[in-house]
Structure 1
Amino acid sequence: MKPLGQYRHTVVVEFEASGTAGGVLPDGSTRQRVAASILQAGARTAADLATELGLTPAAVRRHLDQLLDDGLVVSRPVRSRGERRRGRPAREFVLTDAGRDTFDQQYDDLAAAALRFLSETAGEDAVREFARRRMSFVERRYAELVGRHPDADPAELLAEVFSAEGYAASTRTGPVGEQLCQQHCPVAHVAAEFPQLCEAETEAIGRVLGSHVQRLATIAHGDGVCTTCIPSATGAPSGNTQTTPRAAPAAR
Structure 2
Amino acid sequence: MKSVTRPGGESGTGEESTRHHVLQELFSNGPATAAELAERLGVTPAAIRRHLGVLEAGGRIVERERPVRGRRGRGRPAKEYVLTDRGRSAFFQDYDTLALEALSALVEAAGPSAVVRVGERRHGEVEARYRQLRAEAPDADPVEALATVLGEEGYAAHVREAPGGHQLCQYHCPVAHVAARYPQLCEAETSLFARLLGSRVQRIATIAHGDGVCTTNVPLDGVPIAGRAGPPAGGRGGAPTDHRSGTSTDHHNREAARA
Deviation at 1:34, TM superposition (A): 0.8
Shift of the alpha carbon at 1:216? 1.5
Give 1:68 shift. 2.1
Q: Deviations over 1:2-59 (max 9, x none)?
A: xxxxxxxxxxxxx79x9xxxxxx92222211111111223222211211222221111
TM-score by length of 2: 0.78
What is the one-letter code of the residue matched to 2:58? D
Match for 1:239 among 218, 233, 244? 233
Instruction: Tell me, in whole angstroms, the C-alpha distance in 2 between the residues paired with 1:164 and 1:172.
Output: 18
For residues 79 and 170 of structure 1, the distance between their equivalents in structure 2, rounded to whole angstroms, comes to 15
By how many angstroms is 1:90 displaced? 5.2
Asked if 1:107 is matched to 2:102, the reply is no
Structure 2 SS opposite 1:240: coil
Could you list the runs of 5+ residues in structure 1 that have no partner in the other structure?
1-14, 19-24
Q: d(CA) in 2 for partners of 1:192 and 1:186?
A: 12
For the pair 1:129 / 2:117, whether they are aligned, the reply is yes
Matched with 2:149 is 161
**Structure 2 residue identity aligned to 1:240:** G
* Aligned with 2:189 (options 201, 205, 230): 201
Instruction: Tell me which moved more, 135-144 or 35-44.
Output: 35-44
Matched, 1:53 2:53: no
Say whether residues 1:38 and 2:29 are aligned partners. no
**Which position in structure 1 is the counterpart of 2:161?**
173
Contact 1:219 1:225 in 2 (8 A): yes
1:119-146 Cα distance to aligned partner (Å, 9 max, x none): 1111011111111111112210101212
CA distance in 2, matches of 1:40, 1:241: 33
Residues 35-91 of structure 1 show CA distances to partners (whole Å, capped at 9, x for unaligned) of 111122322221121122222111111211221233211223446732234xxx754
Equivalents in 1 of 2:116, 2:191: separation in Å?
11
Q: Which amino acid aligns with 1:134?
A: R
- The 2-side partners of 1:48 and 1:181 are apart by 19
Q: Residue 102 of structure 1: SS of its match in structure 2?
A: helix
Q: Deviations over 1:78-130 (max 9, x none)?
A: 46732234xxx754222111110101242222111111111111101111111
Q: Given that residues 105 and 187 in structure 1 are in contact (C-alpha distance below 8 angstroms), is that contact kept between their aligned partners in structure 2?
A: no
Gaps of 5+ in 2: 1-5, 224-229, 237-241, 245-249
Q: Equivalent of 2:215, from 227, 235, 242?
A: 227
For 1:209 and 1:77, the matched residues in 2 are separated by: 31
Pairs within 5 Å for 1:78-97? 78=66, 81-85=72-76, 91-97=79-85
Q: CA RMSD in A?
A: 2.6
Confirm or deny that 1:64 pairs with 2:64: no
The answer to whether 1:248 aligns with 2:236 is no
Matching residue's letter, 1:135: H
Partner of 2:239: none
Shift of 1:237: 5.2
Alpha-carbon distance in 2 for matches of 1:38, 1:240: 34
Q: Is the 8 A contact 1:202 1:241 kept in 2?
A: no
What letter matches 1:188 in structure 2? A
Deviates more, 1:230-239 or 1:102-111: 230-239
Residue 243 of structure 2 aligns with an amino acid whose one-letter code is A
State the percentage of identical aligned residues. Answer: 52
Count of aligned residue pairs for this structure pair: 225
Question: Which amino acid is the alignment partner of residue 106 of structure 1?
Answer: D
The one-letter code sitting in structure 2 at the alignment partner of 1:158 is L
Q: What is the identity, as a one-letter code, of the residue corresponding to 2:64? A: R
